[in-house]
């Protein structure tokens, strides 16, 4: 994960502010890819769906999320850049670099829970996926902190706890809907 973020940020923008913007987008994209795809596939798996439904939901989340992240970053950074131009500060925010970093990181992060949930079988499917996701989130939090020059503990805990809450919520909803016969 660290090397992926380094690749996304190295040379993406000519100045420090531009690199920081791309780093932010990459960390955000990876975190969202891991959490949102994991939440969807764990929620669907909680409803006792077969591999086909989990795969379809995961692929839709992966592609839709990457496009959404790229578009959101582009629009957000474009608005930021417009404001900077109006204030004549020009910090080097590049909407294209942020969009590419966010989409790439979302896809990279989102593939992990999809692969984990499809490879694990039976009763181990959800616990192994959750474990893989929590480890990936810890690595993402630590990598983002390291690349940003901050201590790793707080960002790592923040990403792991937030992702864990998302997984617990979607698993519970999927389990509730599956048990009730809704899904």
Q: Where are the domains of the chain?
A: 2-176
User: Token pair of 151, please?
Assistant: 């201590």
Task: Name the pTM for this structure.
Answer: 0.66
pLDDT digits (tens, 9 = 90+) for 23-80: 888 888 888 899 999 999 998 988 876 888 888 888 888 888 888 888 778 867 776 7
105-151 per-position pLDDT tens digit = 888 888 998 899 889 888 888 899 999 989 998 998 888 788 778 88
**Per-residue pLDDT, 153:** 92
Q: Which of 24, 98, 105, 96 is nearest to 65 (CA)?
A: 105
- pLDDT tens sequence across 152-183: 898 889 889 888 888 888 888 878 877 767 66
Q: Estimate to the nearest angstrom the gap between the alpha carbon of 102 and the chain centroid.
A: 9
Which residue, among 13, 12, 17, 14, has the nearest Cα to 148 in the 3D structure?
17
**What gap in Å lies between CA 29 and CA 119, rounded to an integer?**
24
Cβ atoms of 9 and 19 within 8 Å: the answer is: yes
pLDDT at 4: 44
Q: How many CB atoms lie within 10 A of CB 49?
A: 18
pLDDT in tens, 66-116: 888 887 788 677 767 766 776 765 766 788 888 888 889 888 888 998 899
Residue 90 is predicted with a pLDDT of 74
3-state per-residue secondary structure call for 36-76: HHHHHHHHHHHCCCCHHHHHHHHHHHHHHHHHHHHHHHHHH
Rg of the chain taking only CA atoms, in angstroms:
18
């Amino acid at each position: 994960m660290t090397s992926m973020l380094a690749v996304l940020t190295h040379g993406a923008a000519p100045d420090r502010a531009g690199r920081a913007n791309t780093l932010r987008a990459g960390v955000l994209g990876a975190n969202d890819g891991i959490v949102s795809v994991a939440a969807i596939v764990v929620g669907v798996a909680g409803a006792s769906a077969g591999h086909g439904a989990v795969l379809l939901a995961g692929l839709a989340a992966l592609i839709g999320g990457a496009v959404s992240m790229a578009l959101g970053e582009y629009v957000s950074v474009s608005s930021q850049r417009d404001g900077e131009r109006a204030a004549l500060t020009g910090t080097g925010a590049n909407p294209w670099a942020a969009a590419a970093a966010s989409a790439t990181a979302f896809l990279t992060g989102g593939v992990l829970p999809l692969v984990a949930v499809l490879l694990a079988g039976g009763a181990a499917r959800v616990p192994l996926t959750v474990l893989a996701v929590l480890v990936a989130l810890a690595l993402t939090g630590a990598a983002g902190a390291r690349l940003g020059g901050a201590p790793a503990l707080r960002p790592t805990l923040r990403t792991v706890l937030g992702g864990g809450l998302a997984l617990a919520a979607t698993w519970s909803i999927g389990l509730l809907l599956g048990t009730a016969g809704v899904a």
